[in-house]
Amino acid sequence: MTKDAMEERRSALEDEFFHKQDQAKLEAMKGKLEAQATKEELRKVSGMTDDAVLDKLVSLGLTAKTVAALSLVPLIAVAWADGSIQDNERDAILHGAAGKGLEQGSPGFTLLENWLAKRPDDGLFMAWELYIKSLTSQLNDEQTRLLKKQILNFSSLIAGSAGGFLGIGKVAGSEEKVLARIEAAFTK
């Protein structure tokens, strides 16, 4: 191989190396920009201002189109508390989703279906807790009380739907623990 040929080969390898590095940098920058855009969209639709909470929601894959599903996380946590979701729990959660405007085929509904099919990591519930703390910091005491009451009532309905006579009345200890954790999320 001649000196010129070796020089051309070296130059081509350098060009390829730097091209790959540039591509990786561009992809990383694109990912950052997409995450930032998603964060800003979440900020607009949720009213959240806490960057740490918004970053956590983005890292969990939530977008402006799926944030409505976040309100159902306590119900998901209660339903999974005993290790599995019963059919009547699933039906009650899907009914609640319809009440939140999550339509079948929407990104939020698809996300909810995933949570019903496979138990989500505890990080999802922790993100919900951060979301509630951030949200209630922006509400007055009466608004916080009403929100807490609504979420606890719905969560208790899910907890009671799987036990007792004809699915009414009995709440398992594991579900009681999740209900207590939901209630604790509202303490300032």
* Per-residue model confidence as pLDDT tens digits over 126-153: 989 988 888 888 778 888 888 899 889 9
Residue 27 lies in a domain: no
Residue 95 lies in a domain: yes
Predicted pLDDT of residue 106: 85
**pLDDT one-digit tens code per residue, 167-178:** 455 677 889 999
Q: In terms of Cα–Cα distance, which of 144, 173, 169, 145 is closest to 157?
A: 169
Residue 86 lies in a domain: yes
- CA dist., res. 47 & res. 101, Å (int): 18
Q: In terms of Cα–Cα distance, which of 67, 64, 72, 129 is closest to 99?
A: 72
Predicted pLDDT of residue 73: 93
Could you tell me where the DSSP H helices lie in 81-172?
A: 87-99, 107-117, 122-136, 141-161
Residue 68 lies in a domain: yes
Please state the length of the chain: 188
**pLDDT one-digit tens code per residue, 89-112:** 999 899 888 877 778 888 888 989
Residue 14 lies in a domain: no
- CA dist., res. 25 & res. 31, Å (int): 10
Give the sign of the dihedral formed by CA 171, CA 60, CA 132, CA 105: negative
Residue 165 lies in a domain: yes
Whether this prediction's pTM lies above 0.75 is answered by: no
Extract the tokens encoding 60: 């969990």
Task: Give per-residue burial for 146-177: e unless 16+ CB within 10 Å, then b.
Answer: ebbeebbebbbbbbbbbeeeeeeeebbeebee
Mean pLDDT, all residues of the chain = 80
What is the span of the domain harbouring residue 150? 48-184
The 10 Å Cβ neighbour count of residue 115 is 20
Predicted pLDDT of residue 113: 93
Domain count, the chain: 1
> How confident is residue 119, by pLDDT bands cut at 50, 70 and 90?
very high
Residue 75 lies in a domain: yes
Residue 24 lies in a domain: no
Predicted pLDDT of residue 29: 63
